[in-house]
């Protein structure tokens, strides 16, 4: 089973800065990690490979420094890493990102499955996975929480929806987006880290992908960020101390009064 | 531009319309009025009665467009995407809003990719830019640290998913008039590569935290799974459901569907009660748009107090049981 896992490098902390001109994230000087929700996709892919054979290829689009994410993925157990990188890609929205990733996937060996994280914790859209399935015209199962069984031409999976869990049968090749419930991501091993250091990571540029330039980067993106605001977080509410019986009772009385005033009880 | 009209995507389940359908109409009504165009509620699904569809008109729609077929009773991305793309190509709306539900967030990017449209996820504010008529879509990003306003100036339709519960449905107006158009499903649009073969409803267990008016969440301070019992009682007293922080879910004190925060769900209840939760930025990202936030925590420096409307610094194992007792008394009055 050949599996491709598209991953994203995201800022380690939430204290990131935005470029006021382009409205995109300034990534310089911020420690970067693999999007935490992608780790579940990587783990799921490695487990499938361990059971059914084949290989796992981690794929990312980003600046040259994003190769660190690919090496981390290999250290966990992915076999290969492919970096899609070109200045022309910068500022891409989800449409343009999916467009480029799909062209990159087509350059790789034939795959049976693409497994993506539910969404990235920085952009928080969850749009690239479904968009890739759409552009590749392969079936999509999103928000997958469990893989029940795998056959040569399809699989049975559980999908986490608001009201419960759906069971879906899906033909292969397919694209899954997975939620946290599906696996416990393993830590990189020492051997994996050694392998990661010694693995060559091919870099695919716009020219390699045979993409149309009008669809690339900020200029090729249908959406534009036109304004960035930093919302005020502090509410300045009433904060009471409950240190002894009296202050405890007072605090509870005041809370009950507060809830009454706000028509919550 | 030839694209005209505002569409909102309704959702149904077993013949009943979901409340997000009406929330979207109240959003759509404002936009349609600003643009002076028609507001269309689009429903793709299994059989729904005319009487129920009328409710969409009473709640703001000028027209209901309903692609109805038993084969559409459960959501599958490919078929729904084919049907919606087909409608968009033939009727050319300028704006499409869907709920940022699991299905909405799956369907919309699938369609947007196909028809080459701009799509903004999980918007909390929508407006029309007066000079251009463009849709201004505002959404929290980077863990809710920023609010980004986005537009798609050169592509139509402009598509957005809207955070559930971020707007209220309009009051039903029995005098409102509108038309209902039922459209037959073109069999060529059916895609059988994904088949729904089963469904387990677990709403009865904990309730859906994204649809609850009140969410009572526990964090690391709860110390063990058994202690969540007092939260269930408090949630019951307040007519709500129980959520949890990532810490609590990682320790298996609560289940993943209950997780609030950046790697869990985003909730916008009327009242959010954070108990034994310090308020890591990742947690705040999932709940800080709640109308009212109440926190109970023993650490006076916990970040959660900064975003709270009401806080009690104290031992939750004393405060919560006393509060439960007090609320029980209140009810019996």
CB spacing of A223 vs B151 below 8 angstroms? yes
What is the secondary structure of B228-248 as a DSSP string? HHHHHHHHHHHT-EEEE-HHH
d(CA A221, CA A244): 59
Calculate how close chain B gets to A199, using CA atoms only, in Å.
31
pLDDT of the residue at A15: 54
Calculate how close chain B gets to A200, using CA atoms only, in Å.
32
- State the count of interchain CB pairs (< 8 A) between A and B: 278
CA dihedral sign, ordered A123, A7, A69, A81:
negative
DSSP label at B110?
H
Q: Where are the domains of chain A?
A: 2-215, 232-265
B111 reaches A (C-beta below 8 A): yes
Given a cut of 70, whether residue A22 has pLDDT beyond it is no
Q: Which two tokens stand for residue A89?
A: 């890609």
Length of chain A: 265
pLDDT of the residue at A25: 62
Sort out which chain B residues have CB atoms less than 8 A from A41's CB and list them.
none
Sort out which chain B residues have CB atoms less than 8 A from A264's CB and list them.
214, 238, 270-271, 292
- Determine contact, residues A11/B146, Cβ cutoff 8 Å: no
- Determine contact, residues B305/B297, Cβ cutoff 8 Å: yes
d(CA A253, CA B278): 23
Query: Which of A70-79, A228-237, B159-168, B181-190 has the least mean pLDDT?
Result: A228-237
Q: What CATH fold (topology level) applies to the domain A2-215?
A: Rossmann fold (3.40.50)
- Determine contact, residues B215/B260, Cβ cutoff 8 Å: yes
Nearest-by-Cβ selection for B194 from A139, A227, A253: A139
Minimum Cα–Cα distance from B121: chain A residue: A125
CA dihedral sign, ordered B106, B109, B113, B117:
positive
B109 reaches A (C-beta below 8 A): yes
pLDDT of the residue at B229: 95
Given a cut of 70, whether residue B171 has pLDDT beyond it is yes
Confidence band (pLDDT; 50, 70, 90) for B281?
confident
- Higher-confidence residue of B288 and B310: namely B310
Return mean pLDDT, chain B.
Answer: 94
Given a cut of 80, whether residue A236 has pLDDT beyond it is yes
Largest CA distance in chain B: 64
Given a cut of 60, whether residue B1 has pLDDT beyond it is no
pLDDT of the residue at A27: 62
pLDDT of the residue at A19: 64
What are the CA-CA distances from residue B88 to residues A262, B39, B114, B180, B216 (Å)? 43, 14, 11, 18, 41
CB spacing of A234 vs B117 below 8 angstroms? no
Confidence band (pLDDT; 50, 70, 90) for A21?
low
Mutation target to probe the B interface, by most B beta carbons within 10 A, among A13, A14, A145 is A14
pLDDT of the residue at B304: 94
pLDDT of the residue at B331: 82
- Higher-confidence residue of B266 and B150: namely B150
pLDDT digits (tens, 9 = 90+) for B223-250: 999 999 999 999 999 999 999 999 999 8
Minimum Cα–Cα distance from B107: chain A residue: A130
Q: What's the complex ipTM?
A: 0.91
Calculate how close chain A gets to B142, using CA atoms only, in Å.
5
pLDDT of the residue at B262: 81
pLDDT of the residue at B216: 97
Contacts of A24-28 with C-beta under 8 Å, sequence gap 24+, read A24/A90, A24/A91, A24/A218, A24/A225, A25/A122, A25/B142, A27/A63, A27/A65
pLDDT average, residue stretch B216-221: 97
Nearest-by-Cβ selection for A95 from B112, B147, B300: B112
CB spacing of A14 vs B281 below 8 angstroms? yes
d(CA A116, CA A97): 14
Domain with CATH 3.40.50.1220 in chain B: 203-332
Calculate how close chain A gets to B41, using CA atoms only, in Å.
22
d(CA B6, CA B25): 10
Minimum Cα–Cα distance from A252: chain B residue: B323
pLDDT of the residue at B37: 98
Q: At what angle do helices B316-332 and A245-261 cross, to 10 degrees?
A: 50
SS3 string, chain A, reads CEEEEEECEEECCCCCEECCCCCCEECCCCCEEECCCHHHHHHHHHHHHHHHCCEEEEEEECCHHHHHHHHHHHHHCCCEEEEECCHHHCCCCHHHHHHHHHHHHHHCCCCCEEEEECCCCCCCCCCHHHHHHHHHCCCEEEEEEEEEEECCCEEEEEEEECCEEEEEEEECCEEEEECHHHCCCCCCCHHHHHHHHHCCCCEECHHHHCCCHHHCCCCCCCCEEEEEECCCCCCCCEEEECCCHHHHHHHHHHHHHHHHHCCCC
CATH 3.40.50.1220 fits B203-332, yes or no: yes
Given a cut of 70, whether residue B268 has pLDDT beyond it is yes
Confidence band (pLDDT; 50, 70, 90) for A123?
confident
CA dihedral B216, B222, B226, B229 (to 10 degrees): -20
pLDDT digits (tens, 9 = 90+) for B129-138: 999 999 999 9
B14 reaches A (C-beta below 8 A): no
CB spacing of B81 vs A134 below 8 angstroms? yes
B294 reaches A (C-beta below 8 A): yes
- Higher-confidence residue of B280 and A215: namely A215
Calculate how close chain A gets to B24, using CA atoms only, in Å.
18
Sort out which chain A residues have CB atoms less than 8 A from B106's CB and list them.
130, 140, 142-143
CB spacing of A167 vs B196 below 8 angstroms? yes
Confidence band (pLDDT; 50, 70, 90) for A121?
confident
Calculate how close chain A gets to B54, using CA atoms only, in Å.
25
Sort out which chain A residues have CB atoms less than 8 A from B135's CB and list them.
none
Chain-centre distance for alpha carbon B112? 20
Confidence band (pLDDT; 50, 70, 90) for A234?
confident
R_g of chain B, CA atoms, integer Å: 22
Phi, psi at A146, each rounded to 5°: -160, 145
B284 reaches A (C-beta below 8 A): yes
Q: Which two tokens stand for residue B48?
A: 């729904």
Query: A25-26 and A17-18: which strand pairing?
Result: antiparallel
Nearest-by-Cβ selection for A162 from B101, B121, B140: B101
pLDDT digits (tens, 9 = 90+) for A70-114: 999 999 999 999 999 999 999 999 999 999 999 999 999 999 999
CB spacing of B145 vs A262 below 8 angstroms? no
Sort out which chain B residues have CB atoms less than 8 A from A262's CB and list them.
271, 292
Q: Which two tokens stand for residue B95?
A: 């704006």
B13 reaches A (C-beta below 8 A): yes
Length of chain B: 333
pLDDT average, residue stretch A48-64: 97
pLDDT average, residue stretch A128-157: 97
What are the CA-CA distances from residue B127 to residues B34, B57, B130, B263 (Å)? 9, 22, 9, 28
Return mean pLDDT, chain A.
Answer: 93
CATH 3.30.310.40 fits B6-189, yes or no: no
CB spacing of B257 vs A160 below 8 angstroms? yes
Minimum Cα–Cα distance from B85: chain A residue: A134
Q: How many CB atoms lie within 10 A of CB B140?
A: 21
Minimum Cα–Cα distance from A262: chain B residue: B292
CB spacing of A222 vs B313 below 8 angstroms? no
């Amino acid at each position: 089973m050949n599996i491709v896992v598209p991953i994203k490098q995201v800022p380690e902390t939430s204290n990131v800065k935005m470029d006021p001109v382009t409205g995109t994230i300034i990534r310089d000087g911020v420690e970067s990690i693999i999007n935490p929700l992608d780790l579940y996709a990587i783990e799921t892919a490695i487990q499938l490979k361990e059971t059914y054979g084949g290989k796992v290829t981690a794929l990312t689009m980003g600046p040259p420094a994003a190769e660190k994410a690919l090496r981390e993925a290999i250290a966990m157990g992915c076999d290969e890493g492919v970096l899609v990188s070109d200045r022309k890609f910068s500022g891409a929205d989800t449409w343009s990102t999916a467009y480029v990733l799909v062209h990159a996937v087509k350059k790789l060996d034939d795959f049976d499955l693409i497994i993506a994280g539910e969404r990235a914790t920085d952009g928080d859209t969850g749009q690239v996975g479904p968009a890739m399935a759409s552009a590749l015209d392969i079936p999509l199962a999103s928000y997958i929480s469990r893989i029940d069984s795998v056959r040569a031409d399809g699989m049975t999976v559980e999908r986490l929806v608001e009201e419960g869990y759906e069971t879906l049968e899906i033909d292969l090749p397919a694209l899954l987006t997975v939620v946290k419930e599906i696996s416990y991501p393993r830590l990189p091993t020492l051997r994996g880290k050694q392998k990661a250091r010694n693995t060559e990571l091919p870099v695919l540029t716009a020219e390699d992908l045979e993409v149309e330039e009008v669809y690339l980067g900020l200029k090729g993106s249908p959406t534009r960020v036109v304004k960035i605001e930093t919302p005020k977080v502090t509410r300045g509410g009433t904060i009471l101390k409950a240190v002894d019986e009296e202050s405890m009772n007072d605090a509870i009385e005041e809370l009950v009064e507060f809830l009454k005033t706000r028509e919550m009880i | 531009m030839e694209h005209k009209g505002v569409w909102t995507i309704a959702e149904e389940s077993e013949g009943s319309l979901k409340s997000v359908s009406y929330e979207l109409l109240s959003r759509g009504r404002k936009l349609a009025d600003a643009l002076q165009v028609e507001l269309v509620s689009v429903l793709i699904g299994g059989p729904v009665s005319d009487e129920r569809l009328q409710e969409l008109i009473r709640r703001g729609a000028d027209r209901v467009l309903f692609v109805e077929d038993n084969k559409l009773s459960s959501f599958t991305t490919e078929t729904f995407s084919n049907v919606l793309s087909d409608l968009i190509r033939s009727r050319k709306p300028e704006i499409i809003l869907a709920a940022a539900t699991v299905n909405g967030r799956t369907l919309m990017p699938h369609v947007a990719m196909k028809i080459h449209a701009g799509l903004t996820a999980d918007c909390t504010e929508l407006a029309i830019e007066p000079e251009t008529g463009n849709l201004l879509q505002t959404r929290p990003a980077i863990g809710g640290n920023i609010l980004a306003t986005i537009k798609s100036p050169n592509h139509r339709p402009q598509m957005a998913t809207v955070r559930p519960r971020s707007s209220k449905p309009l009051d039903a107006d029995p005098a409102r008039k509108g038309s209902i158009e039922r459209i037959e499903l073109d069999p060529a649009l059916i895609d059988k590569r994904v088949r729904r073969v089963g469904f387990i409803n677990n709403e009865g267990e904990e309730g859906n935290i994204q649809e609850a008016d009140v969410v009572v969440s526990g964090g690391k301070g709860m110390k063990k799974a058994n202690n969540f019992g007092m939260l269930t009682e408090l949630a019951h007293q307040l007519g709500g459901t129980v959520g949890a922080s990532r810490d609590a879910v990682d320790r298996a004190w609560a289940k993943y569907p209950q997780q609030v925060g950046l790697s869990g769900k985003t909730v916008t209840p009327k009242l959010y009660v954070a108990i034994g939760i310090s308020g890591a930025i990742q947690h705040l990202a999932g709940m800080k748009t709640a109308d009212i936030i109440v926190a109970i925590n023993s650490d006076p420096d916990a970040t959660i107090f900064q975003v709270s409307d009401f806080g009690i610094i104290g031992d939750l194992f004393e405060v919560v049981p006393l509060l439960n007792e007090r609320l029980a008394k209140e009810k019996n009055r």
